[in-house]
Amino acid sequence: MRLVDVEQEQEVRIVDIQGGKGVARKLQQLSLMPGDRVKVTKRAPLRGPLLVEAHGRSVALGRGVAAKVEVEQISS
């Protein structure tokens, strides 16, 4: 599953970040790495960005970026 397809208020775990070094590195700088739990708190309309929360920090991610983030459901 990709992060871009995750519904609002859902929490998932990052499995992998695909597509070149650039995106993965930028996400790493914001402390988003494989293994982390992220929650999608908002989805902007008109194919706008997603607002995700991880480790108490909110980050806005464009759709293109979110499409490169592979995630999995967290089994509760």
Distance CA 55, CA 39 (A): 10
Restricted to residues 32-71, the positions that interact with another protein (CB under 8 A) are 33, 41-49, 51, 55-65
**Binding of residue 7 to another protein (CB under 8 A):** no
**Binding of residue 13 to another protein (CB under 8 A):** no
**Binding of residue 30 to another protein (CB under 8 A):** yes
Q: What is the 3-state secondary structure (H, E, C) of 6-74?
A: CCCCCEEEEEEECCHHHHHHHHHHCCCCCCCEEEEEEECCCCCCEEEEECCEEEEECHHHHCCEEEEEC
**Binding of residue 16 to another protein (CB under 8 A):** no
Give min distance, CB of 37 to another protein, in A: 11
Using CB under 8 A as the criterion, which residues of the chain lie in contact with another protein when the complex forms? 22-31, 33, 41-49, 51, 55-65
